[in-house]
């Protein structure tokens, strides 16, 4: 029996209070996420239950019980207090998927700090932009990534604590602190800071079409939504072995890679290694994974390897599968049903929504390729693109709109209230995605409503790439667009006009690709570069990215009346 | 393929994907993809380097994470496509 039971019944009768009551949220004035993900589970008698089984790429394994999570997060919280981190200070987590990342996240929340996880593959420019915007006070980092911070720290006056979690015997530089979680004096009792439910907890950065990345700021009461969506959509049950493949540098990795499973008291496993089909199947087999939450890009890579490799492994432990990041194509749903005997259930949500909002539910009839239906407590509709009035006719494409007010919704963009306010139209939060609803109430994704590139489930802003490209010595002007890709949905393609004196060549293309990879991230690296004499512009000089994108997608170019004359 | 080829690939990986002070030693058996030294997105630039340097065309469906997971695997891949 799945946790949700009848979706229709739940939708009719649901109130978020139900989740609060199950969590006993606010009991004794406690609203801190850190408590609900560790101490509370221990108080319920599950202190000896495994919370985290971690495996590194070399095969090293570490295991942590809920009591270990409690004590280690206490230890980290106390350490942060002792070095001068206070309530509301932003503490960046910049690590691979090592145990310290998960435990520090809880530790930061326990002492009232704001966790700012960032994808550890970010280059120094991407890192600088996000630390500068958040006025981050401390960064917890592995020594392998330290060189990036050392290059930019002189430009970050607020960044006064650089905490190296796996330092060697070398002498720390100015503002650097060595901290070894396993060797530190363990703190059994820690006064978890009694923050209010509306106190900021996490900032996740996400990209837009224009301007710098925006920090979606969440609050402690987001756990109300993360807990119940984990329970009803991921169907987490006490005996589950849960594997969320997302990196906590992105929102899935915190909402459903830390908060959701641990608030539910579930054992989760983490593989800190790059993708490999056989490696992943062997991991499922070894740990008898029951619930697997992954991404369409990974599923399509598994598909590429075919059925024969599936048969080499015993994957019979798998009970439920779900997917997030970009729309899961119908072929992948059908394939997984054949390969694993069960389909991947697609879930739709965003960094800004903090938790799933439109999804396929256990027990519900899946229509392959559909996003599913709104989570109970979420009022979702399709809005007319001009009037922002709900469209009542099935099949008409418009913008996905959500009625504000669910617990995990971002409360603002950090330092950017104006952009936040601009996300609301006619009383609806506008997600920025186009979709339609069919006559049975299922949502069907169509595409983004802006130029943001969704590559392997991660949003990449063209402006950030174009700005970085202009820093390359040979680039005169550039435009970055998403081009279709069978595995990643979209990949970055750059159109580049070179400065006089530079000539296009394979070497030049490779040099520019690597330049962006190191400055921003591998995700932002153009997978293809087309050299052009000049870029199409409006008469006012604005590059017409839309035109280039349409060409890549084989779409109608549309209105070109504002195009600059050659 | 010769030791020179092996060295050329190792040097490129070190130069492009690792910092000088990373302390990570790369040899022909070092795991590149599963260790995170090269991620799946960066495989595209590594593939482009190999194709350009060795004048081969590696089909996309052969450029799997496993095929790129060590310098030895890469050399095997290159051998497969330089023979034809």
Give the residue with greater pLDDT, A185 vs A211.
Answer: A185
Mean pLDDT value across residues A85-100? 98
Residue A82 has pLDDT above 80, yes or no: yes
Non-local (6+) Cβ contacts of A309 within 8 A are A277, A278, A281
Beta strand spans in A327-451 (E): 344-348, 358-359, 373-374, 380-383, 398-402, 412-413, 424-425, 428-437, 443-448
Question: Whole-model pTM?
Answer: 0.92
The pLDDT of residue A560 is 66
DSSP secondary structure letters along A457-496: TEEE-HHHHHHHHTTSTTEEEEEEEEEEETTTEEEEEEEE
The ipTM is: 0.87
Measured over the CA atoms of residue B4, residue B10, residue B14 and residue B15, the dihedral's sign is positive
Cβ within 8 Å, pair B52-A523? no
Distance from CA of B83 to the nearest CA of A (A): 23
Segment A198-209 shows an average pLDDT of: 93
**How do residues A448-472 score in pLDDT, each as one tens digit?**
888 899 998 888 989 889 989 999 9
Whether A276 sits inside 8 A of B34 (CB atoms) is yes
State yes or no: pLDDT of A566 exceeds 50: no
Q: What is the pLDDT of residue A207?
A: 87
Token digits of residue A324 = 């997030």
Question: Is the torsion defined by CA of A16, A21, A23, A29 positive or negative?
Answer: positive
pLDDT in tens, B38-75: 988 888 899 999 998 888 999 988 888 889 999 999 99
Over residues A136-167, the pLDDT tens digits come to 999 999 999 999 999 999 999 999 999 999 99
Render pLDDT for A104-130 as a digit per residue (tens, 0 to 9).
999 999 999 999 999 999 999 999 999
Say what the pLDDT of residue A104 is: 98
Chain A CB contacts of B47 below 8 Å = none
- Partners of residue B16 in chain A, C-beta under 8 Å: 514
Contacts with B13 from chain A: Cβ below 8 Å: none
Give the rounded distance of the alpha carbon of B56 from its chain centre.
Answer: 13
Q: Is the pLDDT of residue A559 over 70?
A: no
- Pick A147's closest partner by Cβ from B21, B31, B65: B21
Closest CB to B42 among A279, A305, A525: A525
List all residues of chain A from 273 to 292 with a beta carbon under 8 Å from chain B.
273-279
Nearest residue in chain B measured CA to CA from A280: B34
Report chain B residues whose CB lies below 8 A from the CB of A142. none
From B19, B31, B65, residue closest to A275, measured CB to CB: B65
Check A147 against B19: CB less than 8 A apart: yes
Of A359, A377, A517, nearest to A441 by C-alpha is: A359
Instruction: Give the pLDDT mean for A415-419.
Output: 95
- Position A332 scores a pLDDT of 94
Domain ranges within chain A, ordered by starting residue: 7-434, 453-553
Q: Do B49 and A510 touch (CB under 8 A)?
A: yes
The range of the structural domain enclosing residue B77 comes to 3-83
Helix runs in A312-433, H state only: 330-340, 417-421
Residues from chain A contacting residue B59 (CB–CB below 8 Å): none
pLDDT class for A564, splitting at 50, 70, 90? low
Q: Distances in Å between the alpha carbon of A2 and those of A77, A235, A243, A287, A532?
A: 36, 6, 18, 22, 55
A132 has a pLDDT exceeding 80 = yes
pLDDT at A344 over 60: yes
Write the CA distances from A189 to A23, A72, A192, A193, integer angstroms: 22, 11, 9, 12
* Residue A44: predicted pLDDT: 97
Coil vs helix vs strand at A414: coil
Q: How many domains does chain B have?
A: 1
Query: Residue A565 pLDDT > 60, yes or no?
Result: no
How close does chain A come to B63, measured CA to CA in Å? 11
CATH number at residue B31: 1.10.1200.10
Q: Do A510 and B33 touch (CB under 8 A)?
A: no
> In sequence order, what are the residues at sequence separation of 6 or more whose Cβ sits closer than 8 angstroms to the Cβ of residue A526?
A465, A480, A492, A493, A494, A512, A513, A516
Which DSSP string corresponds to B7-27? Answer: HHHHHHHHHHHS-TTS-----
Average pLDDT, chain A: 95
Residue A27, C-beta contacts closer than 8 angstroms, at least 6 positions apart: none
pLDDT over threshold 80, residue A12: yes
Contact B65 A277 (CB under 8 A): yes
| Of the options 3.40.50.12780, 3.30.200.20, 3.20.20.450, 3.40.50.300, the CATH number for the domain spanning A7-434 | 3.40.50.12780
Nearest 5°: the CA angle A282, A122, A120 is 45
A453-553: CATH topology is GMP Synthetase; Chain A, domain 3 (3.30.300)
Please write the tens of the pLDDT for every residue from A355-384: 999 999 999 999 999 999 999 999 999 999
């Amino acid at each position: 029996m799945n946790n949700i039971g009848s979706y229709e019944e739940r939708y009719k009768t649901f109130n978020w209070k139900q989740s609060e009551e199950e969590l006993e949220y606010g009991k004794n004035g406690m609203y801190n996420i850190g408590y609900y993900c560790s101490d509370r589970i221990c108080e319920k008698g599950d202190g000896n239950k495994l919370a985290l089984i971690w495996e590194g790429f070399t095969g090293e394994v570490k295991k942590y019980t809920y009591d270990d999570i409690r004590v280690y997060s206490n230890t980290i919280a106390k350490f942060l207090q002792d070095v001068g981190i206070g309530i509301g200070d932003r503490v960046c987590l910049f690590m691979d998927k090592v145990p310290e990342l998960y435990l520090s996240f809880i530790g930061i929340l326990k002492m009232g700090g704001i966790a700012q996880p960032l994808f550890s593959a970010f280059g120094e420019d991407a890192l600088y932009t996000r630390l500068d915007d958040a006025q981050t006070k401390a960064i917890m980092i592995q020594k392998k990534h330290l060189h990036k911070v050392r290059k930019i720290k002189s430009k970050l006056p607020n960044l006064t604590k650089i905490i190296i979690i796996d330092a060697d015997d070398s002498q720390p530089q100015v503002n650097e602190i060595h901290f070894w979680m396993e060797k530190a004096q363990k703190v059994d009792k820690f006064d978890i800071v009694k923050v209010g439910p509306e106190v900021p907890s996490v900032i996740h950065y996400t990209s837009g079409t224009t301007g710098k990345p925006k920090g979606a700021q969440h609050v402690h009461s987001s756990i109300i939504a993360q807990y119940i969506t984990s329970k009803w959509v991921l169907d987490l049950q006490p005996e589950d072995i849960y594997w969320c493949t997302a990196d906590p540098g992105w929102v899935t990795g915190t909402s459903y890679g830390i908060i959701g499973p641990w608030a539910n008291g579930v054992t989760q496993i983490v593989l800190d290694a790059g993708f490999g089909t056989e490696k992943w199947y062997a991991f499922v087999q070894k740990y008898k994974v029951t619930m697997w939450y992954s991404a369409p890009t990974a599923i399509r890579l598994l598909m590429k390897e075919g059925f024969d490799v599936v048969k080499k492994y015993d994957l019979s432990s798998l009970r439920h599968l779900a997917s997030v990041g970009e729309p899961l194509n119908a072929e992948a749903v059908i394939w997984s049903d054949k390969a694993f005997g069960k389909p991947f259930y697609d879930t739709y949500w965003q960094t800004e929504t903090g938790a799933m909002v439109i999804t396929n539910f256990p027990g519900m009839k899946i229509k392959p390729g559909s996003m599913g239906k709104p989570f109970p407590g979420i009022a979702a509709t399709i809005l007319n693109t001009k009037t922002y009035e709900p469209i009542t006719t099935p099949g008409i494409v418009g913008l996905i709109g959500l009625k504000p007010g669910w617990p995990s919704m971002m409360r603002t963009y950090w330092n950017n209230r104006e952009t936040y306010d601009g996300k609301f139209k006619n009383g609806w939060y506008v997600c920025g995605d186009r979709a339609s609803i069919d006559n049975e109430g299922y949502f069907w994704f169509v595409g983004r409503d802006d130029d943001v590139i969704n590559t392997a489930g991660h949003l990449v802003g063209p402006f950030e790439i174009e700005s970085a490209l202009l820093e390359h010595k040979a680039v005169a002007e550039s435009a970055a667009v998403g081009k279709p890709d069978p595995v990643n949905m979209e990949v970055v393609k750059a159109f580049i006009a070179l400065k006089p004196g530079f000539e296009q060549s394979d070497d030049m293309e490779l040099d520019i690709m690597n330049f962006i990879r190191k400055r921003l991230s591998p995700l932002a690296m153009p997978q293809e570069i087309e050299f052009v004499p000049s870029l199409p512009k409006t008469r006012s000089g604005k590059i017409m990215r839309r035109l280039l994108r349409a060409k890549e997608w084989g779409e109608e170019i549309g209105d070109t009346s504002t195009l600059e004359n050659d | 393929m010769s030791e020179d080829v092996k060295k050329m690939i190792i040097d490129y990986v070190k130069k492009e994907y690792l910092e000088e002070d990373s302390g990570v030693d790369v040899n022909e058996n070092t795991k590149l993809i599963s260790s995170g030294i090269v991620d799946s997105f960066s495989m595209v630039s590594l593939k482009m380097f190999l194709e350009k340097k060795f004048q081969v065309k590696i089909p996309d469906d052969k450029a799997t994470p496993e095929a790129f997971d060590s310098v030895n695997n890469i050399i095997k891949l290159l051998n497969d496509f330089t023979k034809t």
